[in-house]
């Protein structure tokens, strides 16, 4: 098989995903404030793409790498194609915001104001607010022979100020940072706000007395912000090393300059030249290709604050996550798990009433001896951290692996690691260059018939905030084989164990790739033998070339393959003689599809798995990941229901075409079938367990 025939470029595939996010902002069927939210998500996504992925391609160029990858795209060609794609997206984003969303919001009384919109009383009020709250925070920075071009932090919003000195007749340039410590949107009237940069711009004369302000325009830079820790590095203190890297990345090279629409060319050229001179000469120099002009407003990630306004008529309908009947109040969570495994699907199943309750009961149960878990990202309200610290204070043995290398959460995780240590929790940090991405919790409990191990194995982080907006799955079980596997995996993470064989778990980087390829090959063998053969797999990203090759071989053998891939997909489906039996669909909507789940037909005896790993080289080779088989057959119908809902979607679903384009499905004359609406509506109607009928359950509040 020719890799270039069946393989799509990773970065361009990611941009296509962000384009699908942007489409939700354009779609008039999306509630108005949710459209604003999707504009914010699109912008924040693009920031990270430049900080990590574009920066990486630019570093390839600086290192002299010019050859094309397996997709046939060279680094130079890739940067050009990214530039063309992003400029088109930014034009679309600007049109959606300025021509559609903001005018429609204004018709309902929600407005972003300009200084000229204010009456005399309002102007006096914002003047007083500036004098008391804003002026003391600002620091004007001159640029001249005695004042070198100032350091500009990553993603910070600044004003480039043009000045004229009347006495000397000379022109000058200064920079004023728009402080992140102040709210971006200054309330002036009910539901009407003034952008902070507009307020500062109107009062620049107070920062430069004796000078005449001749112009000001907003700008923003993006810096390389990934950590660089090779697997071969063995620092004596990983915590100190991560802290140093987090500090140093503040000074990463600039990879993008954003300027406000209408910035004079001379000022734009001045910024570009100053940034070039202040950067490492060994890095690829900034050019006009790296200068973007998104529109009147920069840093649209801040629109999240406006999207959260309390206007229910312009937001998605609220819903109340349910508590599975097995875990309802009045019985111990351990008693429920002993009866049978419990499968969770968030946010439809309440995270606090399930996972947090599991940990809280473990912390306060006198029969629990030990708790072990992994923390990749956790939330600020941290009921999880509270349970762990209370367990340690109660004398239980508590061990937690805190992943310090979780991208852009490094500083947060360092704080949580130190908090846990201060309460007596045993904290470990994993291995340099190999992230622990597995989502695992183990509770060891003394019971009348001996020691029993309870496990939670999930697809998402132990984070109550994202559990309300990400779709994730989890398994609660006291299966002996799973408990033993998780125990041995923790021994590998916290000690010197080099476990290579597991009873049930599929573990990366130990055996996950090998087992995954073998499962795909088994389906191919079954198809050749005339036995039932099918694969359904749901994940965030599909990039790994070895897995793509295995899937294409299975397709050629006769296996029908449905892939539900939210984001990046480098497999080109539907190519005759290569991947013609493979279909790829992406679900984009109210919730972020984050769960990873697989189904293998296995000759008519289907096997199901969930876990933390996407099908990417980093997940299979450079991360600790865990996938778990769903052994309780009574849980299997829930997977069938989930897959059926996703594959039948005609509202949120996009189909990947053989040419790499994504085409959104439309209901036409048919009834609209939107995945997230159906999952919310059918949260109790889906066959949750063979032991329970939908009619016996209370209705979901939507």
Q: Kindly list the distances between the CA atom of residue 262 and the CA atoms of 97, 295, 298, in Å, as whole numbers in the listed order.
A: 17, 8, 13
Catalytic residue, chosen from 437, 594, 636, 676, is: 437
Neighbour-count burial for 581-611, b at 16+ CB within 10 Å, e otherwise:
bbbbbbbbbbbbbbbbbbbbbbeeebebbbb
What are the tokens at 57? 């391609």
CB 376 within 8 A of CB 440: no
Cβ neighbour number for residue 477 with a 10 Å cutoff: 25
What are the tokens at 385? 């951290």
What are the tokens at 508? 């990366």
Length of the chain as a residue count: 702
Q: Is the dihedral of CA 441, 446, 449, 450 positive or negative?
A: positive
In angstroms, rounded to a whole number, what is the distance separating the alpha carbons of residues 204 and 227?
Answer: 37
- Residue 496: half-sphere exposure toward Cβ, Cα within 13 Å: 0
**Composition of the chain by helix, strand, coil, percent to 5:** 40, 25, 35
Cβ neighbour number for residue 492 with a 10 Å cutoff: 16
Q: Kindly list the distances between the CA atom of residue 316 and the CA atoms of 32, 588, 673, in Å, as whole numbers in the listed order.
A: 9, 14, 16
Known active-site residue 346: no
Residues 279, 285, 291, CA angle at the centre, nearest 5°?
100
CB 357 within 8 A of CB 327: yes
CB 403 within 8 A of CB 229: no
Cβ neighbour number for residue 560 with a 10 Å cutoff: 17
In angstroms, rounded to a whole number, what is the distance separating the alpha carbons of residues 374 and 440?
Answer: 6
Residues 410, 416, 419, CA angle at the centre, nearest 5°?
145
Nearest residue to 551 (alpha-carbon basis) of 509, 588, 584, 579: 579
**Residue ranges of E strands in 367-411:** 368-375, 397-402
Give the residue carrying structure tokens 């599809």: 593
* CB-neighbour burial class of residue 481 (10 A; exposed 0-12, middle 13-18, buried 19+): middle
CB 600 within 8 A of CB 523: yes
In angstroms, rounded to a whole number, what is the distance separating the alpha carbons of residues 494 and 490?
Answer: 6
Write out the DSSP string of 198-245.
Answer: HHHHTTHHHHSTTSEEEEEEEEEEEE-------TT---S-HHHHHHHH
Nearest residue to 229 (alpha-carbon basis) of 417, 77, 432, 381: 432
CB 599 within 8 A of CB 535: yes
Sequence-separated (6 or more) residues with CB below 8 Å from residue 118: 126, 188, 194
In angstroms, rounded to a whole number, what is the distance separating the alpha carbons of residues 173 and 143?
Answer: 6
CB 587 within 8 A of CB 465: no
**Residue ranges of E strands in 282-338:** 291-292
In angstroms, rounded to a whole number, what is the distance separating the alpha carbons of residues 129 and 133?
Answer: 6
Residues 201, 203, 206, CA angle at the centre, nearest 5°?
130
Which residues carry out catalysis?
A: 437
């Amino acid at each position: 098989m020719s890799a270039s025939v069946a393989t799509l470029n990773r970065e361009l595939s990611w941009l296509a995903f962000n384009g699908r996010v942007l489409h939700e902002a354009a779609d008039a069927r999306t509630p108005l404030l949710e459209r604003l939210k999707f504009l914010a998500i699109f912008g924040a996504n693009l920031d990270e793409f430049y900080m990590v992925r574009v920066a990486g391609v630019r570093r390839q160029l600086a290192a002299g790498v010019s050859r094309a990858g397996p997709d046939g795209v060279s680094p130079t060609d890739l940067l050009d194609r990214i530039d063309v794609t992003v400029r088109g997206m930014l034009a679309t984003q600007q049109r959606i915001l300025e021509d559609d969303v903001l005018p429609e919001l204004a018709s309902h009384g929600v407005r972003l104001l300009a200084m000229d919109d204010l009456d005399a009383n309002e102007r006096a009020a914002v003047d007083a607010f500036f004098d008391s709250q804003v002026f003391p925070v600002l620091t004007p920075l001159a640029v001249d022979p005695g004042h070198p071009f100032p350091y500009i932090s990553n993603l910070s919003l600044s004003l480039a100020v043009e000045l004229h000195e009347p006495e000397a007749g000379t022109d000058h340039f200064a920079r004023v940072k728009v402080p992140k410590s102040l709210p971006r949107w200054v309330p002036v009237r009910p539901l009407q706000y003034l952008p902070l940069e507009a307020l500062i711009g109107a009062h620049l004369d107070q920062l430069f007395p004796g000078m005449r302000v001749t112009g000001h325009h907003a700008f923003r830079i993006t810096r390389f912000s990934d950590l660089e820790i090779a697997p071969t590095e063995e620092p004596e203190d990983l915590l100190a090393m991560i802290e140093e890297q987090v500090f140093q990345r503040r000074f990463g090279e600039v990879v993008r300059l954003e300027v406000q629409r209408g910035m004079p060319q001379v000022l734009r050229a001045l910024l570009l030249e100053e940034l070039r001179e202040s950067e490492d000469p060994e890095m690829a120099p900034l050019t006009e290709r790296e200068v973007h002009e998104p529109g009147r407003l920069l840093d649209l990630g801040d629109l999240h604050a406006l999207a959260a306004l309390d206007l229910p008529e312009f937001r998605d309908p609220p819903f109340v996550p349910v508590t599975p009947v097995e875990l309802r109040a009045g019985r111990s969570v351990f008693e429920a798990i002993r009866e049978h495994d419990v499968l969770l699907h968030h946010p439809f199943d309440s995270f606090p009433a399930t996972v947090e309750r599991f940990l809280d009961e473990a912390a306060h149960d006198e029969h629990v001896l030990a708790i072990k878990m992994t923390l990749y990202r956790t939330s600020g309200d941290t009921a999880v951290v509270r349970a762990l610290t209370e367990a340690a204070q109660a004398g239980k043995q508590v061990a937690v692996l805190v992943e310090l290398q979780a991208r852009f959460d490094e500083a947060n995780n360092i704080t949580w690691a130190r908090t846990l240590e201060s309460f007596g929790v045993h904290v470990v940090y994993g291995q340099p260059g190999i992230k622990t991405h597995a989502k695992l919790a183990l509770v060891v409990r003394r019971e009348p018939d001996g020691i029993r191990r309870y496990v939670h194995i999930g697809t998402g982080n132990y984070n109550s905030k994202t559990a309300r907006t990400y779709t994730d799955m989890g398994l609660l079980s006291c299966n002996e084989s799973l408990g033993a596997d998780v125990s041995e995996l923790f021994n590998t993470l916290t000690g010197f164990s080099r476990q290579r064989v597991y009873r049930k778990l599929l573990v990366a980087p130990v055996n996950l790739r090998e087992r995954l390829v073998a499962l795909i090959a088994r389906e191919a063998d079954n198809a050749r033998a005339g036995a039932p053969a099918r694969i359904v797999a749901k994940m965030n990203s599909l990039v790994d070339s070895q897995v793509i090759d295995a899937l294409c071989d299975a397709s050629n053998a006769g296996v029908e393959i449905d892939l539900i891939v939210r984001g990046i997909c480098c497999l080109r489906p539907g190519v005759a003689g290569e991947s013609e039996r493979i279909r790829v669909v992406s679900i984009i909507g109210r919730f972020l599809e984050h769960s990873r789940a697989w189904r293998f037909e296995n000759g008519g005896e289907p096997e199901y798995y969930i876990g933390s790993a996407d099908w990417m080289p980093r997940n299979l080779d450079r991360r600790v990941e865990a996938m778990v088989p769903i052994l309780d057959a009574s849980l299997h119908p829930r997977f069938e229901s989930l897959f059926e809902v996703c594959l039948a979607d005609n509202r949120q679903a996009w189909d990947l075409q053989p040419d790499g384009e994504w085409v959104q499905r439309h209901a036409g004359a048919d009834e609209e079938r939107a995945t997230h609406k159906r999952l919310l509506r059918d949260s109790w109607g889906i066959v949750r367990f063979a032991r329970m009928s939908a009619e016996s359950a209370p209705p979901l509040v939507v």
